[in-house]
Amino acid sequence: MSADQYGIQDPRAQYPAPDRQQGQEQEHPGTGGEMSPEPDHGERTYRGCGRLTGRSAVITGGDSGIGRAVALAFAREGADVLLSFLDAEEADARKTAALVEEAGRRAVTVPGDVRDEAHCEQIVRRAVEEFGQIDILVNNAAYQMSSGGILDIDTEQLDRVFKTNIHAMFWLCKAAIPRMPPGSAIINTSSIQAFQPAPELMDYAMTKAAIVNFTKSLASELADKGIRVNSVAPGPVWTPLIPATLPAEKVGDFGADTPLGRAGQPAELAPPYVFLASQESSYITGEIIGVTGGKPIT
């Protein structure tokens, strides 16, 4: 793993690629501790400088992967964090909460399934109870499952993908916006799949394209409230979602088709979220920032 995110180095070799000779599979939702190499969330490398001092953030899917990296970075930048995650991800969420607390910030954990509208409303209520308001909402929770194409996607899977990726984002925004003051930020996680959809991820790609559209629409609506809405579109990122939802042979080559020749690490995703949450991006709203290893998002 990279020992430094800040020194000049060759980005192709900054992190190792997964072993292409050995695929990996896990039961959904997966855990980072069982991955090889284990994902880097910035534990040893991310340095904060007060960009988010005194702010409060809600992060869904905050137990591992991109969510953990963003929670760690936000905490080191001075924000308190509420983590939303599935009950099965409790162990990983505790590790993320510990990282937030080690940075001297408050960590609030709220397990449950965001496919339930009442639970989404409870997440927002808990954040307001704990922090007084919500300054940053990161809609990051997602579900994907590889399939053989449209004939292999049953209604149960389609419903799960859309409720996790789209309905929850809508419900959370609807509940949170009245509790967000001017200067707040909403950051939605879309994907390279919104622009370059893979047939085996058809339903997932559909939701990610919808997130792009939702981001632009909501940004226009909320501009006169002083709330900015943007999205980060990751390419292939080495998170537990990969061995938990892709076949072993796909995992072994994951990220090899990018111009940089490797998958990204969660630690490489955190800085764009920090930027979009901070006042440094005060004139940016309705934008999609691609973090894709060189794959185009146009």
Q: Is 38 a domain residue?
A: no
- Give the Cα separation of 30 and 155 in Å (integer): 23
Q: Is 243 a domain residue?
A: no
- Give the Cα separation of 264 and 132 in Å (integer): 35
Q: pLDDT (tens digit, 0 to 9) for every residue of the chain, 298 residues total?
A: 555 677 888 899 888 766 654 555 546 555 655 555 678 898 999 999 999 999 999 999 999 999 999 999 999 999 999 999 999 999 999 999 999 999 999 999 999 999 999 999 999 999 999 999 999 999 999 999 989 999 999 999 999 999 999 999 999 999 999 999 999 999 999 999 999 999 999 999 999 999 999 999 999 999 999 999 999 999 999 877 676 656 666 676 777 889 999 899 999 999 999 999 999 999 999 999 999 999 999 7
Six-digit token string for 224: 């006169």
Q: Is 202 a domain residue?
A: yes
The per-residue DSSP string of 34-93 comes to GSSSPPP-STTT----STTTT-EEEEET-SSHHHHHHHHHHHHTT-EEEEEE-GGGHHHH
Inter-residue contact 120 to 127 (CB < 8 Å): no
pLDDT value at residue 221: 98
Which residues make beta-bridge pairs with 232? 189, 289
Inter-residue contact 280 to 51 (CB < 8 Å): yes
> Three-class SS of residue 9?
coil
Inter-residue contact 57 to 82 (CB < 8 Å): yes
Q: How many residues does the chain have?
A: 298
How many structural domains comprise the chain? 1
Q: Is 33 a domain residue?
A: no
Q: Is 23 a domain residue?
A: no
Q: Is 7 a domain residue?
A: no
Domain around 160:
53-234+265-291
Indicate which CATH number applies to the domain containing 134.
3.40.50.720
pTM (2 decimals)?
0.90
> Three-class SS of residue 1?
coil
Q: Is 13 a domain residue?
A: no
Catalytic residues: 204
Q: Is 185 a domain residue?
A: yes
Inter-residue contact 164 to 142 (CB < 8 Å): yes
pLDDT value at residue 21: 41
